[in-house]
Chain A
């Protein structure tokens, strides 16, 4: 009888509801803390320059759209041009990475060739190489073939499977696919490319979603690469254009910069929303749990 009382108390709806409510409250609080910088930027985009730092509140006292209007035209070129530039680089990078990394991953996961373990280790080693180590040699290379102030240095390497992280991610994914499928296709007359095209590629959608979304986000947010290689204002990507609002030795145009920063998040949100379902599945199946 006593045991039954305990069980009844433990599972009472009231108690369960309270526990759930407190858990949700804590999660919401942590969520608000994490999203606060974004909310602050959102509020600052609609505040006057004077109020941005003097008024810490999240609701603008004097709501203004001036920052958006000024920011859109402040650089002498409509800001939309920088969005298009970023979009061009990001989309080509996604295509390049998906194309080249999947081929490289297929080779490492399924094909047998000389020095495969060594090449795989070298490929993995490049993940650990800090970007700044290769910055100057890369710049010298691209400068020597006159690729500076063009989009080639930002895009062409993506078609050569240089993002070892994605190659590794796809290798892990392909290793999880049953080899029997390959063997059945081979029996049916498929060569290595046929197996890749007809069997592996259709099954790689979750891995493609992860690689595609992350490539898009990283490329969209990349600052150093475009800063080094793009010097014409017309060719700026969004992060470099945002930097043009800043003058750390004088007075920066914070309001317009926050307004344009806010707009620059929109494509990322859209990509995330569209790929969310595949992304979750991809993360669960590619080993980046």
Chain B
């Protein structure tokens, strides 16, 4: 029986097939020039808004082409990490405040200082905003938007219980209001427990109100054990009284997002949240939702206010840094782009854009932008850039909160373990 195909013939065939497969790709390499790659996290709705805004920029720069890539936050960060390792970051990319320290110090991002005041007008966002993206003296990002901390209330419950939440200004008053609002017979908790969730911005507010910082710069924490113990003790007491939900109820609620949130489903009267969450909750419940500033005790430092920035950066490998910088300036200051993207990512950092879009916002959106504008008038000390392992430390905080809530460990032990784990966690180990 003759062989169907000789060994040599087969190998030549496979080699030729491989070569053919590479040819079309080789042809594309040069075509990529002139395409501005932009990346942001979020869903398709957000991507559509930013696509429209980007189209406007492209129209203003005839001949330019752009690609917009997006993914939900976690996969977005995974993709970013991989492409950064390959020196293949998108030209313009949205950046988390938790990651700017890592990417900035690693040399993956372009230092925007030469473009400030030229391609990028920062007069409407101020020096504090520029400091938000400053790492080791270089400006590696600028905030397009801000979010703030807030207290959201189910006004129907609060008013039914005769509580005037507008008069709540201290943490003790918030706890008292929660006790009054709790209605165990109706299955309504007074306040949702923020210690077992995935973000800990209100703890950071608590720490800053005591003149300390969550992160002290470098890989150090900037708070004392006593401060964090007091925070956990406040919530332990409320849980023990049945005012805050038990750990399993709170964690189950957190796991399924806003759709099943205790506030959205009318199972709690008060919830600590971000300002931009107001519009999300309002869209999911018929109950009127109130938004208030975070309480502070009488002895709190007056300059504790902070606003986590939504940052935009330019990759160090950007093919056309000047155009990329212009796009950053465009997203910071262009009022028509702001009218398209509105408050999808937060309140615009530019006061001029905020003013310009105010009339087109829904009442809830106006309230959220208004609260940030009002609070930004207060004195603010710098908001330290997050260290490399800040996300990891966030996870450690969640674990400590959950272990305390489940009664697996004492507050003192949990906080001691937290502080012990901090140096290695913050170093990104």
Mark A residues whose CB is within 8 Å of B: 49-50, 52-54, 74-76, 135-136, 139-140, 143, 145-148, 150, 152, 156, 159, 185, 188-194, 197-198, 223-224, 227-228, 231-233, 240, 243-254
Give the 9 A-B CB pairs with smallest separation, nearest first.
A53-B260, A191-B3, A247-B43, A231-B69, A189-B1, A244-B44, A146-B29, A246-B72, A140-B86
- Judge if B83 is at the interface, Cβ distance under 8 Å: yes
Chain B: number of interface residues, binned into ranges: 35 or more
- 12 other A-B residue contacts (CB within 8 Å) besides A193-B3, A251-B259: A53-B259, A54-B265, A139-B86, A143-B83, A146-B26, A189-B1, A192-B3, A197-B4, A228-B83, A232-B69, A243-B75, A248-B72
Residues of B near A136 (CB, < 8 A) are 82, 85-86
**Given A193-B4, A250-B280, does the pair A227, B70 have CB atoms closer than 8 Å?**
no
B1, B2, B6, B32: which contacts A146 (Cβ < 8 A)? B32
- Judge if B379 is at the interface, Cβ distance under 8 Å: no
Binary interface profile of B, 188-212, with partner A (CB < 8 Å = 1, else 0)? 0000000000000000000000000
Of A50, A228, A249, chain B has the most CB atoms within 10 Å of the CB of A249
Task: Describe B's contact surface by its main secondary structure.
Answer: helix
A188 to B3, CA, bound (A): 10
State whether A252 touches B259 (Cβ < 8 A).
yes
Q: Which residue of A lies closest to B310 (CB)?
A: A249
State whether A147 touches B44 (Cβ < 8 A).
no
State whether B41 touches A249 (Cβ < 8 A).
yes
Of A192, A228, A244, A250, chain B has the most CB atoms within 10 Å of the CB of A250
A243 to B46, CA, bound (A): 13
B67, B72, B283: which contacts A243 (Cβ < 8 A)? B72
State whether A50 touches B82 (Cβ < 8 A).
no
**Given A193-B3, A193-B4, does the pair A54, B41 have CB atoms closer than 8 Å?**
no
- Judge if B406 is at the interface, Cβ distance under 8 Å: no
- Judge if B118 is at the interface, Cβ distance under 8 Å: no
Residues of B near A254 (CB, < 8 A) are 257, 259
- Judge if B303 is at the interface, Cβ distance under 8 Å: no
Residues of B near A76 (CB, < 8 A) are 44, 48
A148 to B87, CA, bound (A): 13
Residues of B near A145 (CB, < 8 A) are 22, 25-26
A243 to B26, CA, bound (A): 30
Residues of A near B79 (CB, < 8 A) are 227-228
State whether A253 touches B43 (Cβ < 8 A).
yes
Residues of B near A250 (CB, < 8 A) are 42-43, 46, 258, 276, 280
Tell me the B16-58 residues at the A interface (CB within 8 Å).
17-18, 21-22, 25-26, 28-29, 32, 37, 41-48
A150 to B6, CA, bound (A): 33
B10, B37, B42, B44: which contacts A75 (Cβ < 8 A)? B44
A233 to B46, CA, bound (A): 14
State whether B78 touches A227 (Cβ < 8 A).
yes
A227 to B7, CA, bound (A): 38
Residues of A near B260 (CB, < 8 A) are 52-54
Tell me the B386-404 residues at the A interface (CB within 8 Å).
none
Q: How far is the CB of B268 from chain A (nearest CB, A)?
A: 14
Residues of A near B21 (CB, < 8 A) are 152, 156
State whether A143 touches B88 (Cβ < 8 A).
yes
Q: How far is the CB of B287 from chain A (nearest CB, A)?
A: 12
B3, B70, B75: which contacts A194 (Cβ < 8 A)? B3
Residues of B near A198 (CB, < 8 A) are 1, 4
Residues of B near A135 (CB, < 8 A) are 82
**Given A76-B48, A148-B88, A251-B259, does the pair A227, B1 have CB atoms closer than 8 Å?**
no
